[in-house]
Amino acid sequence: MTDRKITRGKVLLAEPFMLDGNFKRSVVLMCEHTEDGSLGFILNKSLDMKIHELIADFPEIESSVYYGGPVQTDTIHYIHNAGHLLEDSQEILPGVFWGGNFDQLKSLISNGLLSQKDIRFFVGYSGWSKSQLKDEMKFGSWVVADLNLNYLFHNKKSNLWSDVMKHKGDVFSVIAQVPEEMTWN
């Protein structure tokens, strides 16, 4: 039996036939999971823009922006590995942090102390109200997996869903090979 327990720092993999366009083949990093609700960011839905194109006074950095989810798409969030440098960061797991002082973030980037390999930006987030995610888990919409730091900072995002499925092993290795678009003859 696989570990279905959702905790901060786990990733959720959309089941292979999920039709919801927001979450189809998505890998969601869970940053918060309490009895009152859950919050995470989709790791593998890159947008065709850079963060300095979205925020006028932001220092130029070759970091892509990702679609974090369908909630509050007028907000910017970031996951990084520099919690020791960035005040008010929330630790998700050892070496992985969420948010922090935004002005300090800009300064760290301007001074070359943070680069695109250290940070990931998101527009919006994925959120679930009280017991919503629990219900989706009962329905079989999500598979829970462990976070590998390479998923965040060193993976080709287009293959992330199948890579994480393969790493789970067993039947998930087979699921990872299911084509995204199935046609019947």
Structure token pair of residue 108: 């760290």
**What's this model's pTM, rounded to 2 decimal places?**
0.90
Determine the structural domain holding residue 43 and report its residue range: 11-175
For the stretch 59-84, pLDDT in tens is 999 888 999 999 999 999 999 999 99
Q: Give me the pLDDT at residue 182, please.
A: 57
User: Which amino acid is it at 59?
Assistant: P
Q: Which of 179, 146, 116, 181 is nearest to 27 (CA)?
A: 146
Mean pLDDT of 87-98: 95
Question: Mean pLDDT for the chain?
Answer: 88
Q: Which of 6, 113, 103, 25 is nearest to 67 (CA)?
A: 25
H/E element holding 163? helix 160-168
Q: Is the pLDDT of residue 95 over 70?
A: yes
Q: Is the pLDDT of residue 2 over 60?
A: no
Q: Give me the pLDDT at residue 4, please.
A: 65
Structure token pair of residue 90: 């929330």
pLDDT band (50, 70, 90) for residue 129: very high
Mean pLDDT of 25-38: 95
181 belongs to a structural domain: no
Mean pLDDT of 180-185: 55
185 belongs to a structural domain: no
Nearest 10 degrees: CA dihedral of 174, 31, 59, 150? -30
182 belongs to a structural domain: no
pLDDT band (50, 70, 90) for residue 184: very low
Give me the number of domains the chain comprises: 1
1 belongs to a structural domain: no
156 belongs to a structural domain: yes
CA dist 117 and 73 (Å) reads 24
For the stretch 140-152, pLDDT in tens is 899 999 988 877 8
CATH code of the domain covering residue 49: 3.40.1740.10
